[in-house]
């Protein structure tokens, strides 16, 4: 059992996405998924790194044809226990050999980039997503952002000095994480470089959660009416370029040429 499996055997992704800060991310991602799906007739969806099926099961319940791939057996078991119509398999984002070329209209890559640490690994996952997506199809890719890690872990949780000493941050405050750190963080220029290397066309890039993750106790203190206004505010700004790099997660929306 590797570090990722050990981590997700204890971590509940469904619970995170049902929290208020996670709800912002989920509502935003679903909004843009549905925008993309409008252009296809009877679309087929592949959810790579599906976790426990928060997105894939919801989309299947809405009547979509959904296939899911998940690395961690524990997560896959929870997904299957939901008894949805999702066709679920164990597998890895860097090798989708189970699927033929141009098999899906829309491909989600919402978890893998968090845990792939080298440019080459991320690029391989992106190329595999491209391969199994039809020409003219859409690929949505989620990333964890560098500044979120620095602000939260280094400064908010006061690990800055040890992080610098251990080489987990370079002189430009770019994270230098390794497999044992579990998460990999990027900046917007890294995402653009991956898109170019994979020869994918960007439709748009959005902030999935803007300041929500930084504001957990404040969001939790809001009334339901106030919280709905925060979501409305976030959706009004999530495409702004000045928000992207400082958010916890971004969603890169790409088209296969």
Helix (H) or strand (E) holding 134: strand 133-144
In the CATH scheme, what is the homologous superfamily, with its name and number, of domain 3-145+186-255? Answer: Vaccinia Virus protein VP39 (3.40.50.150)
pLDDT score, position 18: 80
| pLDDT tens, residue by residue, 131-177 | 999 999 999 999 999 999 999 999 999 999 999 999 999 999 999 99
Return mean pLDDT, the chain. 94
| pLDDT tens, residue by residue, 85-95 | 999 999 999 99
The whole-angstrom distance between residue 43's C-alpha and the CA centroid of its chain comes to: 21
Tell me the C-alpha distance between 178 and 126, whole Å: 20
Tell me the C-alpha distance between 252 and 257, whole Å: 15
State pTM to two decimals: 0.93
Helix and strand counts by DSSP (H, E) for the chain: 13, 7
Classify burial at 172, counting beta carbons within 10 Å of its beta carbon; exposed 0-12, middle 13-18, buried 19 or more.
Answer: exposed
For the chain, which residues make up each domain, given as ranges? 3-145+186-255, 146-181
Contact between 86 and 45 (Cβ < 8 Å): no
| pLDDT tens, residue by residue, 186-239 | 999 999 999 999 999 999 999 999 999 999 999 999 999 999 999 999 999 999
Contact between 148 and 208 (Cβ < 8 Å): no
- Neighbour tally for 141: CB within 10 Å: 26
């Amino acid at each position: 059992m590797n570090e990722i499996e050990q981590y997700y055997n204890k971590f509940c992704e469904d619970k995170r996405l049902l929290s208020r800060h996670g709800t912002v991310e989920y509502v935003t991602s679903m909004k843009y998924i549905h925008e993309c799906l409008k252009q296809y007739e009877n679309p087929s969806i592949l959810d790579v790194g599906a976790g426990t099926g928060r997105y894939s099961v919801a989309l299947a319940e809405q009547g979509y044809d959904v296939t899911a791939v998940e690395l961690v057996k524990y997560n896959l078991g929870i997904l299957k226990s939901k008894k949805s119509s999702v066709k679920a398999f164990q597998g890895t984002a860097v090798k989708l050999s189970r699927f033929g070329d141009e098999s899906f209209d829309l491909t989600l890559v919402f978890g893998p980039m968090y845990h792939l640490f080298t440019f080459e690994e991320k690029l391989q996952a992106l190329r595999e997503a491209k391969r199994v997506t039809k020409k003219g199809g859409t690929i949505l890719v989620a990333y964890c952002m560098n500044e979120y890690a620095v602000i939260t872990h280094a400064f908010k949780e006061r690990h800055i000095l040890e992080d610098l000493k251990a080489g987990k941050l370079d002189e430009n405050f770019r994270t230098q994480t390794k497999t044992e750190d579990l998460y990999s963080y990027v900046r917007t220029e890294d995402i653009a470089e991956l898109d170019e290397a994979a020869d994918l066309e960007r439709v748009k890039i959005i902030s999935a959660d803007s300041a929500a993750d930084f504001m957990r106790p404040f969001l939790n203190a809001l009334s339901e009416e106030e919280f709905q206004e925060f979501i409305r505010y976030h959706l009004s700004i999530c495409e702004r370029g000045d928000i992207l790099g400082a958010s916890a997660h971004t969603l890169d929306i790409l088209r296969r040429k």
